[in-house]
Structure 1
Amino acid sequence: MDQQDYAVGATRVAVGRPDGRAGGAGRGAAHPFLAVREAVGAAAADDPQAAAPGGVPGAAAALSPDPGLLRLAQWFAAATPGTAHDLCAASFGLYPARHFGAPAVPADPDVSWWHGPTAHAAASPRSLAARTEGGLRRARRDAAALPVVRSGAKPGRPGRHRKPEINGVLPETMGGPEAPETPAAPRVASPSAAPVAQDRSGEELPAAERRIAARLLLAHPLVTASGPHADGFPLIRRHRDWLAERFDTLLGYRLDVGPWHARLCKAGLGPGAARRLEHPATGAPFTPGGYARLALALAFLVDAPEQLGYRQLLDAMRAAAPEPAASVDPADSADSADLDMALAALAGWQVLGDLPSDADDDTFVLTVDRELARAVPVGPPALAADAADLIRLAAEAEPATAVRRLLAETPAVLAADLPEERRAWLYEHRLSGPAALAEFLGLEAELRAEGVALLDPAAELTDLALPGVGTLAQAGLLLVERLVEEVRPLPGESSEGDVPIPDALIDGVLGDIADEYGLPARYLSDRTALRRDALDFLLRLGLITPTPQPKRPPTWHLRPHAARFAPTPDLQPVPGTGRHSRREPLLPPPPSPRTELRA
């Protein structure tokens, strides 16, 4: 068998599941999935006492690593952070779906997001005061103080954080004071539980259960009978045949349902998908080293005994590390952090039981669930030449399947981002395609000239809520609202593409937000961190996109669907009063008497 195969003795599964039960392998898959190999000594592994001399759990002979996962660990160790995130999505497929929470706004499908109706709603004083603790709070303001304008400054002058554009116009000719305006506050999505169906006709209850189960799997591709989403596991088992058929037909995903877990095997989303793993406790994003240690640990856990010594696992990982960059040294602080996030993720997926409180505890014994360990990898590097090739292969599919995957997994799909074949399918099925997914997942379709967005008014089918609670969610919403108001194309201008954002405008708007709202101390003292985190939040939601520049920070562009969160534009303002209107040029001053005498 080819050395690039995922594991020695792997069986190719073109149709059906690795255990032989019926089920689609995934329509439009680039290549068949490979099942993780079964250990030759599986019976001995099930009995750690028999495999361990002297009856000491975890004291067995050297662990046997999986060659495919070792190769994957090497790719992670050599990857950049962005490539490592994309490689994780392609090889593990454990990312959740991501959708906006505001309801869809009906409009003509040929209307642009820039100029069409929006989901923006002006915040009332009550909603500002009712924010949850930890989110943005309105700064106290004296009732006798001057009203607030958009820039956050007093009427009669621009915001102190705004830098005037260098266009040869003197400050005296840039116009008078703006009309007082209260800045719009971010909308907070009200919490909503999963829809509860009433059994009226005998058919509504099964339909509601199927939808709840489908949404749960799309948000959490690995569900266990004893995990945090155990309440939904009986629904998945009850409707597993129907769910497997629908996921295979619509998205080309394979659904494996066992006695104790359900696994939706998602495909990759291609390069630049902005999906990443995070530490379950701290929320810190995984580094390439963290991904490498995750793959390295899985290489041993897929065939490890149920009781495994913690020190034995670390020693095996250290011996099998493909490169110095992927070495395992708990004494190194950076390496210790990477190892901690990898083991924390495995414990969160219940591959591992409790973790030692002391990293130097040589006597601690880990509890390993091999079945869950084998369920984690779904995109093995069997036929890929390198990491980039695996990312490409995992995202390959026929046009219909590829577009439906993007609709189900991402906040919005823009036609300009799609290859020609996929763009043609989207235009041809712009009504029926999104409607089928919306019915399947309980979403609402919003069609515009630039593309389609599937929205979740319940704000449940997402890992990043917008609108949402919390500092970043509300600061990001304020930022995107004001950026749209500043750079929105005028009617008649080209409005189908992205719009560049002046770098000074980003700093100015964030400075105004920091002045107007009570931000956490870490952001008030470090505006660079506020800019970094706010832009990262909007980037992961696909509302902005970077343009790399050699030896310089990237420039940013605003995407069309960002306009749905801004106030509805006034396309026919009173002449001379619009924000984009140009004032009449000032008349030249009359000549002074001295000038007349000289003449």
Structure 2
Amino acid sequence: MEQQEYAVGATRVAAGRPDGRTGGAGRGTAAAVLAVRGPEAAGAAGTAAELAAAADTESVAESAAGTAVGADPTGLADPADAVGGSRADGPQEPAEGLSPDPGLLRLAHWFAAAAPADADDLCTASFGLYPARHLGAAAEPGDPAVSWWHGPTAHAASAPRAREDRADGGLRRARRDAAALPVVRSGAKPGRPGRHRRPERTRALPELPCDLPDPVAVELPDAERRIAARLLLAHPLVTASGPHADGFPLIRRHRDWLTERFDTLLGYRLVVGPWHARLCKAGLGPGAARRLEHPATGAPFTPADYAQLTLALALLVDAPEQLPYGQLLDAMRAAAPELAPELAPELAPELAAGAATPPDRAALGMALAALAEWQVLGDLPADPADTAFVLTVDRELARAVPAGPPALADDAADLIRRAAEAEPATAVRRLLAETPAVLAADLPEDRRAWLHEHRLSGPAALAEFLGLEAELRAEGVALLDPAAELTDLALPGTGTLAQATLLLVERLVEEVRPLPGEAADGDVPIADALIDGLLGDIADDHDLPARYLADRTALRRDALDLLHRLGLITPTPRTTWLLRPPAARYAPAPDLHPTPGTGRHSRPTTPPREGTRA
């Protein structure tokens, strides 16, 4: 298994458990947010208290099962428990009918009634399956009191590649501009994630006295723990047979240490069973959502898609292992006729009276694709109308998808609020671990005070735990991942959109960067005309895909969406966009003292003489 250089030589972070931690799904949670019926409650709706007891019992049983194999140094109790072994859940009775989980059914209605942005927030709060997101390029050391606008940058100039050497999917200089001055593609370096990893070198270790520990043996557990922690933060649901199965034995082997670290630092609950590991992340609060996307096409989920996903999940938590597709559709229509998909008029005649705009087949396809990606479902029918197709259901994974211990929130807004509740230390550490940059201006007063007091020790502890690099500036802190592995969006990155976006942000910074003393600690407005003009220059200077050449609006939409999701720009009601200080780390270093009379930002050093023009 590939291991990157930041996993080697990790040191343990000082232990300690903050008192009074609330929120999320970790130990000490004051109020949980979601109900998932346990096996004991199958077939009966039950009260909220009964649902809570059932799910808590299940959680304790899973923890006990994981602890029982703790003495095995490999993390596997026996050959039957090995990765890739056969799984026996015992015989199952065929279900006469499927009964929906009441908490998830209620959540499905909340999704259906939510606005698109609120639905993304609700998904983040209720499922917590979002990956961490960090900016790339190594941290640049500098004075923490200096602004990102004026401090050291991560800008890396590179000459344009010739047409024959261009990496697939990347930008290239247009042939008709070959005689023009080269355009710097700052930071748009080719390569796959992990390109910053130092190559492993074989070297002879010095002979040590027998009573001294082997340095390789000492470093290996720390490296394994860091790899496992990074994997869980990037993929909160890891299975023994999924795409990240190679890392599952490491999670099993170090589950006790990982459970304590995630709980202490982030307030996250980690459940490790024989066949899957689930890191139950907390919500990020209103406006900080991570939208769910189709695993193949990347299309974002709509409220109707989320509703279909949650409605299906509400039935699958108690479904048999082999479930006819038509039976699932029948159960969805019976549980929530107004939410059920309309596959054909004869399949759902009641929808005409139950919903003004019934969900379509595409929404169900999005939902099933996500469930298959999480391995809750096995293979999907090639034809959505093939109701005789038999689905393979993993009830254990279906119950692991909701993030919270069971208790019901009052409404969608209450669930989003509860999921993000935490003491200041835990809340700020979560933002540092999950988001590209944490700006003090965005934090409430108590969290801003904690960040100011612990701006060295707080980020350093997480950097050691996760193999990240801390960059401190006057506006806040960013934990960076030069390996571009602990992030779902990479900047710098490969591909046309990532490279065009990088060119856009560096040119935006050069155009609107404030001089010292000119509101250097805040966001800067960007005019629409400037965005359109710079994107036009980029399109003229480089060969772009046909869809962007034919539709400049699509290029603008996709580039601004990427910058927004990375936290480098933010919308505002009064102006279209604001450029945020961390964006300046990708632009060339500013010339803070230009020659008088030259440059856009230059200022005259002496007043003009009489009779001359200023």
Q: By the TM > 0.5 criterion, same fold?
A: yes
* Per-residue deviation, 1:6: 4.9
* Per-residue deviation, 1:201: 3.9
Structure 2 CA distance for aligned equivalents of residues 192 and 46 of structure 1: 41
Structure 1 CA distance for aligned equivalents of residues 508 and 175 of structure 2: 25
- 2:266 aligns to what? 251
Kindly tell me: are residues 539 and 23 of structure 1, through their superposed partners in 2, closer, same or farther at Cα, counting changes over 3 Å? farther
5 Å matches for 1:177-576?
Answer: 182-188=183-189, 190-193=191-194, 200-321=215-336, 324=338, 326-331=339-344, 335-379=360-404, 382-548=407-573, 555-576=576-597
Structure 2 CA distance for aligned equivalents of residues 361 and 275 of structure 1: 33
Kindly tell me: are residues 432 and 127 of structure 1, through their superposed partners in 2, closer, same or farther at Cα, counting changes over 3 Å? farther
- Which amino acid in the other structure matches residue 362 of structure 2? A
- Which amino acid in the other structure matches residue 18 of structure 1? V
Kindly tell me: are residues 22 and 16 of structure 1, through their superposed partners in 2, closer, same or farther at Cα, counting changes over 3 Å? farther
Kindly tell me: are residues 248 and 190 of structure 1, through their superposed partners in 2, closer, same or farther at Cα, counting changes over 3 Å? same
Structure 1 CA distance for aligned equivalents of residues 374 and 36 of structure 2: 22
Kindly tell me: are residues 465 and 47 of structure 1, through their superposed partners in 2, closer, same or farther at Cα, counting changes over 3 Å? same
Structure 2 CA distance for aligned equivalents of residues 89 and 70 of structure 1: 17
Aligned residues: 520
Work out which of the residue numbers 578, 581, 586 in structure 1 matches 2:602.
581
Could you list the per-position Cα deviations for residues 91-141 of structure 1 after superposition, in whole angstroms to 9, with x for gaps in the alignment? 000000000110000000000000001000112134887442122222113
The answer on whether the counterparts of 2:161 and 2:172 sit within 8 Å (CA) in structure 1 is no
- 2:104 aligns to what? 69
SS at match of 1:223: strand
5 Å matches for 1:130-169?
Answer: 130-141=165-176, 143=178, 145=179, 147-148=180-181
The answer on whether the counterparts of 2:377 and 2:392 sit within 8 Å (CA) in structure 1 is yes
Structure 1 CA distance for aligned equivalents of residues 173 and 610 of structure 2: 43
The answer on whether the counterparts of 2:63 and 2:271 sit within 8 Å (CA) in structure 1 is no
Structure 1 CA distance for aligned equivalents of residues 284 and 65 of structure 2: 23
SS at match of 1:416: helix
* Per-residue deviation, 1:64: 0.5
Kindly tell me: are residues 22 and 440 of structure 1, through their superposed partners in 2, closer, same or farther at Cα, counting changes over 3 Å? farther
- Which amino acid in the other structure matches residue 596 of structure 2? P
- Which amino acid in the other structure matches residue 341 of structure 2? V
Q: Does 1:102 align with 2:130?
A: no
- 2:51 aligns to what? 10
SS at match of 1:202: helix
Kindly tell me: are residues 287 and 121 of structure 1, through their superposed partners in 2, closer, same or farther at Cα, counting changes over 3 Å? same
TM-score of the superposed pair, with normalisation by structure 1: 0.82
TM-score of the superposed pair, with normalisation by structure 2: 0.80
Structure 1 runs not aligned, ≥5 long = 25-44, 52-59, 149-180, 590-599
- 2:63 aligns to what? 21
Structure 2 CA distance for aligned equivalents of residues 440 and 16 of structure 1: 29
- Which amino acid in the other structure matches residue 230 of structure 2? R
Could you list the per-position Cα deviations for residues 183-225 of structure 1 after superposition, in whole angstroms to 9, with x for gaps in the alignment? 4444226435478799734210111000000000000000000
- Which amino acid in the other structure matches residue 506 of structure 1? I
Moved more, 363-372 or 10-19: 10-19
5 Å matches for 1:88-99?
Answer: 88-99=123-134
Structure 1 CA distance for aligned equivalents of residues 444 and 284 of structure 2: 14
Structure 2 CA distance for aligned equivalents of residues 586 and 285 of structure 1: 61
Could you list the per-position Cα deviations for residues 48-101 of structure 1 after superposition, in whole angstroms to 9, with x for gaps in the alignment? 4x43xxxxxxxx322110000000000000111111111001000000000011
* Per-residue deviation, 1:579: 2.0
The answer on whether the counterparts of 1:120 and 1:564 sit within 8 Å (CA) in structure 2 is yes
Structure 2 runs not aligned, ≥5 long = 1-31, 38-45, 67-88, 203-213, 346-357
Structure 2 CA distance for aligned equivalents of residues 512 and 327 of structure 1: 48
% identical equivalent positions: 75
Kindly tell me: are residues 478 and 409 of structure 1, through their superposed partners in 2, closer, same or farther at Cα, counting changes over 3 Å? same
Larger radius of gyration: 1
Could you list the per-position Cα deviations for residues 267-313 of structure 1 after superposition, in whole angstroms to 9, with x for gaps in the alignment? 00011114111101111111111100110000000000010000110
Structure 1 CA distance for aligned equivalents of residues 164 and 134 of structure 2: 27
* Per-residue deviation, 1:327: 2.8
Structure 1 CA distance for aligned equivalents of residues 201 and 458 of structure 2: 26
Structure 2 CA distance for aligned equivalents of residues 197 and 297 of structure 1: 50
- 1:123 aligns to what? 158
Aligned Cα RMSD in Å?
2.9
Structure 2 CA distance for aligned equivalents of residues 68 and 464 of structure 1: 32
* Per-residue deviation, 1:424: 0.4
Kindly tell me: are residues 398 and 5 of structure 1, through their superposed partners in 2, closer, same or farther at Cα, counting changes over 3 Å? same
- Which amino acid in the other structure matches residue 156 of structure 2? A
5 Å matches for 1:10-89?
Answer: 10-12=51-53, 17-19=59-61, 21=63, 47-48=91-92, 50-51=93-94, 60-89=95-124
